[in-house]
Amino acid sequence: MSVDNHLENDILNAINGELFGIISERFIIMEEEVKESKGSGFMLKICGFIVDKRNLFFLIYAILAVFSVFSRNWVKVENQMSYYLPAESETKRGLDLMQEEFVTYGSCNVMVANVSYPQAEGIRDDLSNIEGVFSVDFDNTEAHYTNGSAYYNITFDHDEDEEECLTSLALVEDYLDGYDTYLTTSLGDIQSELINEEMKTISIIVVIVVVSVLLLTSQAYAEVPVLLITFGSAALVQMGSNFLLGTISFVSDSVTIVLQLALSVDYAVILLNRYKEEHKTLPPREATIVALSKAIPEISGSSLTTIGGLVAMMFMQFKMGADMGIVLIKSILLSLLSVFLLMPGIIMLFSGLMEKTQHKNFIPEIPFVGKFAYLTRYIVAPAFVLVISAGCIISNKCPYVYGYSKITTPIINRVQKAEQIQEENFGSSNMVALVVPKGDYESEALLLRDLEACPEVDHTLGLSNTEALSGYTLTDRLTPRQFSELINLDYEVAELIYTAYAINDEDYAKAVNGLSTYKVPLIDMFSFVYQEVKDGYVTLDDDIMDSLEEANRMMTFARNQLEGENYSRMLVYLNLPEESDETFEFIDRIHTIADKYYNDDGVYVVGESVSEYDLEKCFGRDNTVVSLVSILAVLVVLLFTFKSAGMPVLLIVVIEGCIWINFSFPTLMKDPLFFLGYLIVSSIQMGANIDYAIVIASRYTELRETMLRKEAIIKTMNLSFPTIITSGTMLAVAGTVIGKLTSDAAIFGIGRCLGRGTIISIFITMFVLPQILLVGDKIIEKTAFVMNMPVRNRQMSGLIRVDGLVRGRIDGTVNGMMHATIRGNVSAYVESGDVTQVSDENDTQGTRIDTADIQKEGV
pLDDT in tens, 543-589: 778 777 888 888 888 888 899 889 999 999 999 999 999 999 999 99
CA distances from 839 to 801, 803, 821, 823, 846 (A): 10, 16, 12, 11, 6
Residue pair 183/171 in contact (Cβ under 8 Å)? The answer is no
Report the distance separating Cα 535 and Cα 678, nearest Å: 62
Residue pair 374/713 in contact (Cβ under 8 Å)? The answer is yes
Please state the rounded mean pLDDT for residues 253-282.
Answer: 84
**pLDDT confidence bin for 15, thresholds 50/70/90:** very low
Please state the rounded mean pLDDT for residues 800-819.
Answer: 58
Report the distance separating Cα 830 and Cα 479, nearest Å: 108
Question: What string of DSSP letters covers 344-378?
Answer: HHHHHHHHHHHHHTB----SPP-HHHHHHHHHTHH
Q: Within 221-283, where are the H helices?
A: 223-241, 250-278
Assess whether pLDDT exceeds 60 at residue 848.
no
DSSP single-letter state for residue 340? I
Residue 158 phi/psi, 5-degree rounding, is -120, 160
- Max mean pLDDT among 57-61, 103-107, 407-411, 415-419 falls in 57-61
Please state the rounded mean pLDDT for residues 272-284.
Answer: 88
Q: In sequence order, what are the beta bridge partners of 150? A: 112, 145
Listed residue (431, 418, 439) closest to 461, CA to CA: 431
Q: In sequence order, what are the beta bridge partners of 803? A: 819, 834
Q: What is the pLDDT of residues 412-463, one digit of tens each?
A: 988 889 999 999 999 888 999 999 998 788 999 999 999 999 999 999 999 8
Helix pair 284-311, 690-703: axis angle to 10 deg: 130
Residue pair 538/506 in contact (Cβ under 8 Å)? The answer is no
Report the distance separating Cα 404 and Cα 409, nearest Å: 9
Determine the straight-line distance between the first and last CA of the chain, rounded to whole angstroms. 44
Report the distance separating Cα 498 and Cα 85, nearest Å: 48
Report the distance separating Cα 265 and Cα 353, nearest Å: 21
Please state the rounded mean pLDDT for residues 47-65.
Answer: 94
Q: Which residues in 375-403 are b (16+ Cβ under 10 Å) and which e?
A: ebbeebbeebeebbeebbebbeebebbbb
Q: What is the pLDDT of residues 174-209, one digit of tens each?
A: 999 989 999 999 887 787 788 888 888 888 888 888
Task: State the chain's mean pLDDT as an integer.
Answer: 83
Q: Which residues in 266-292 are b (16+ Cβ under 10 Å) and which e?
A: bbbbbbbbbbbebbeeeebeebbbbbb
Residue pair 280/355 in contact (Cβ under 8 Å)? The answer is no
Q: How many CA atoms lie within 13 A of 589 on its CB side?
A: 16
Please state the rounded mean pLDDT for residues 408-412.
Answer: 90
Report the distance separating Cα 251 and Cα 196, nearest Å: 10
Question: What string of DSSP letters covers 385-445?
Answer: HHHHHHHHHHHTT--EESSSTT---SS--HHHHHHHHHHHHH---EEEEEEEESS-HHHHH
Report the distance separating Cα 86 and Cα 93, nearest Å: 9
What is the DSSP pairing of strand 247-249 with strand 76-78?
A: parallel
Assess whether pLDDT exceeds 90 at residue 787.
no
pTM value? Answer: 0.77
Contacts of 201 (CB under 8 A, 6+ apart): 741
Please state the rounded mean pLDDT for residues 22-44.
Answer: 50
Contacts of 461 (CB under 8 A, 6+ apart): 562, 570, 571, 573
Write down the pLDDT at residue 791: 41
Q: Measure CA 407 to chain center.
A: 19
Report the distance separating Cα 97 and Cα 84, nearest Å: 16
Contacts of 615 (CB under 8 A, 6+ apart): 81, 85, 318, 402, 403, 675
Contacts of 111 (CB under 8 A, 6+ apart): 149, 150, 151, 152, 181, 182, 183, 418, 421, 422, 425, 426
Q: In sequence order, what are the beta bridge partners of 473? A: 467
Write down the pLDDT at residue 80: 84
Write down the pLDDT at residue 850: 39
Assess whether pLDDT exceeds 60 at residue 122.
yes
Q: In sequence order, what are the beta bridge partners of 105? A: 159
Write down the pLDDT at residue 826: 62
**pLDDT confidence bin for 831, thresholds 50/70/90:** very low
Q: What is the pLDDT of residues 635-684, one digit of tens each?
A: 888 888 888 888 888 999 999 999 999 999 999 999 999 998 898 898 88
Helix pair 3-52, 343-356: axis angle to 10 deg: 100
Long-range contact list for 697-700, CB < 8 A, 24+ apart? 697/642, 697/647, 697/650, 697/651, 697/769, 697/773, 698/641, 698/642, 700/770, 700/773
